[in-house]
């Protein structure tokens, strides 16, 4: 299974629309990790074959999404969170520990607007960065993830 992972779009639906058009025939799922996750959900009718999953971020005051979610894609468990409730701007310790407690194999998060992909012990920690408001001189970014016997991914830049 291939997954497009985005976060922190902050109402930049044009960029998200471009990515969905580009990858709609290559991925089976799209995950939005919060801060205007409704930017993704507004495309559900246009792309009914894509599974769309969103979690709420600190800027998502009215969203029918949970603050966190566990994706079960056998044999893997992927924990999704925006990250603001886990102190990710300081370090990843709390979030990684929480994901480990949930028996996750990977954790996808946002909030920092900074792309990152690293192993934290046995857990793959992935932040796709921000499509709508990148920081620290980064270009807008997202991630492509492939789920098979293993979980692999790559941060992509526009």
**How many folded domains does the chain comprise?**
1
**pLDDT-based confidence at 85, cuts 50/70/90?**
confident
Read off the pLDDT of each residue in 97-126 and give the average, rounded to a whole number: 95
pTM above 0.85, yes or no: yes
Mean pLDDT of 86-114: 93
CATH number at residue 98: 3.60.21.10
**Over the stretch 23-63, which tens digit does the pLDDT of each residue have?**
999 999 999 998 888 889 889 999 999 999 999 888 887 55
pLDDT computed for residue 83 by the predictor: 87
pLDDT score, position 102? 96
Looking at residue 140, the DSSP 8-state letter turns out to be P
Report residue 21's pLDDT band, with 50, 70 and 90 as the boundaries: very high
Q: How many CB atoms lie within 10 A of CB 133?
A: 15
Q: Supply the range of the domain harboring residue 115.
A: 2-157
Residues ≥6 apart with Cβ < 8 Å to 73 = 1, 147
Percent over 70 (pLDDT), the chain? 97
The better pLDDT of the pair 26, 90 is held by 26
| 100: pLDDT strictly greater than 90 | yes
Spatial separation of the C-alpha atoms in residues 88 and 65, rounded to whole Å: 20
Task: Check pLDDT > 60 for residue 64.
Answer: no
Spatial neighbors of 158 by CB under 8 A, at least 6 apart, are: 15, 131, 139, 140, 141
> How many C-beta neighbours within 10 Å does residue 106 have?
23
pLDDT reported for residue 62: 59
Closest CA to 150 of 129, 124, 127: 124
């Amino acid at each position: 299974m291939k997954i497009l992972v985005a976060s922190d779009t902050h109402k930049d639906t044009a960029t998200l629309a471009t990515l969905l058009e580009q990858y709609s025939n290559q991925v089976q799922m799209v995950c939005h990790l919060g801060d205007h996750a409704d930017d993704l959900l507004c495309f559900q009718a246009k792309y009914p074959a894509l599974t769309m999953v969103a979690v709420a971020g600190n800027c998502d005051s009215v969203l029918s999404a949970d603050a966190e979610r566990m994706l079960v894609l056998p044999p893997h468990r992927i924990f999704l969170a925006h990250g603001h409730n886990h102190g990710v701007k300081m370090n990843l310790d709390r979030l990684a520990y929480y994901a480990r407690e949930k028996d996750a194999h990977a954790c996808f998060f946002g909030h920092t607007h900074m792309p990152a992909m690293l192993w934290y012990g046995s857990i793959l920690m992935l932040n796709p960065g921000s499509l709508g408001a990148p920081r620290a001189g980064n270009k807008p970014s997202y991630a492509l993830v492939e789920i098979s016997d293993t979980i692999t991914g790559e941060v992509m830049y526009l």
